[in-house]
Amino acid sequence: MRSLLKTLVALTALVWTCFSFAAEQVVDAAGYGSSRNQAISDALVQGLRQATGVSIDSREVMQTLSGRASVSNNEGEQFNSSFEVAQRGDLSLKTKGLVSRYDILAVEPQDDGSFRADVSVHVLKYDKPGLPADSRRTLAVMPFHSDKRSFSLLGDNTAATKLESELRNRVLDQFTQSRRMNVLDREFGAEFQAEKAIWLSDDAALAEKAKTGNVLGADYIVVGNIRNVRSTRHVKTLQLTGETIVSYSGSAQLDYKIVLAATRQVKWSDSINLKFGDSDIRAMLKQYGSSQAGITAELAEQLAQKALANIYPMRVVAVKGKTVVLNQGGKTLKKGDLLDVYFLGDEMFDPYTNESLGQLEEKIAVVKVVRVSAKTTYAKVVEGDAELIEQDFIVRR
């Protein structure tokens, strides 16, 4: 008996896990039709529209909605039913949604011979894990481009496409680690379609189908052009001793834009120009194993830092003595980084456009990063008065 109870508990937990992200929304709706079934079907459509909204097309079309549902009548009996609704009119109203079951509250004949049906519709909605999608802006990093076909890296010609792909992945990593925005995938479309096909298959539970229709569009898109990337190995032989001295140098230039996707308005545009000395390239080779990986990592870090500083600058979330806690962590900050803390004054406005220019910023302290976690960063005040620092103050590099 104990073994059976354990099995039942395990199965219950498994079922709860499988369906924990599919929530039901109950909607009461009324529908009309020339028959009882048509009135019930119309009520189901109205309930779906209330729960999920409609997409309107101005063309006159015939549209059919069909499905299966578990139905209960006034006597409490439950049975499976299929329904199909045909609509015709000047406006095509496209309704999407999943009905797990519906209850028929009443079906009454009308004076004109038609029927009115009142139903309670249980609509399945996918409850997305994590923070609500509307609590953060969404961002997509598009493929980078270059006018060149290859770049010279320590004597090897590296295909531009290889650098473009690596830079994009590192930029995605930086934005994701910042936890400031919802970063969207725009690369693995085929893999997504394969997974979606499983949700929609006959083998999947009805709750799995609720996952469809939840793909997010981007608020911002990142686009860029790699103008140049170079790393060179210099070999010099001393004539007097015959000793060989090896040194390195490099450079990189990247143009990028942050575009408001809905309007294609350029919200931020900048160029990154970097020069690398011998010690820089040697450090890259030691940490990453190649100058290519090191240079793309540096470009990605610079891009993400500048973009986030303009969209979501770091802020102080807690202060205790000389310890300051910031609302950003991950790979975006490193132990030993020096950061400036700013007091926020009055808001400023452009006299020509009346557009807000942000708040007046006054530097009051310098802090040094001592510990970085996944979501926060701890820093110590090394310059200035720690007692002047308060929550919500701006922090910049």
Q: Give the class (CATH, top level) of 314-396.
A: mainly beta
Decide if 23-63+86-125 and 138-311 have a common fold: no
CA gap 300, 141 in Å, rounded? 11
Is residue 230 over pLDDT 60? yes
Domain ranges of the chain: 23-63+86-125, 138-311, 314-396
Please tell me the distance from the alpha carbon of residue 118 to that of residue 268, in angstroms, as a whole number.
53
CATH number, span 138-311: 3.40.50
Sign of the dihedral through C-alpha 174, 177, 183, 186: positive
Task: Report the 10 Å Cβ neighbour count for 209.
Answer: 17
Average model confidence (pLDDT) across the chain: 82
Check pLDDT > 70 for residue 79.
no
Contact between 330 and 372 (Cβ < 8 Å)? yes
- Measured CA to CA, the distance from residue 304 to residue 159 in angstroms comes to 24
Q: Which fold does the domain 23-63+86-125 belong to in CATH?
A: Dodecin subunit-like (3.30.1660)
State the burial class of residue 172 (Cβ atoms within 10 Å of its Cβ: 0-12, 13-18, 19+).
buried
User: Are the CB atoms for 337 and 368 separated by under 8 Å?
Assistant: yes
Is the pLDDT score of 90 beyond 90? no
Burial (CB < 10 A; 0-12, 13-18, 19+), residue 250, is buried
Q: Nearest CA to 89 among 48, 47, 55, 57?
A: 57
pTM for the full predicted model: 0.69
Q: What is the mean pLDDT of residues 360-369?
A: 93
Letter for the amino acid at 382?
A: V
pLDDT, position 85: 44
The single residue listed with the structure tokens 């039942």 is 8
From residue 173, give the alpha-carbon distance in Å to each of 131, 183, 359, 369: 19, 9, 30, 21
Higher pLDDT, 289 or 13: 289
pLDDT band with cut points at 50, 70 and 90 for residue 52: confident
Q: How confident is the model at residue 130 (pLDDT cuts 50, 70, 90)?
A: low
Separation of CA 367 from chain center: 30
pLDDT score, position 18: 44
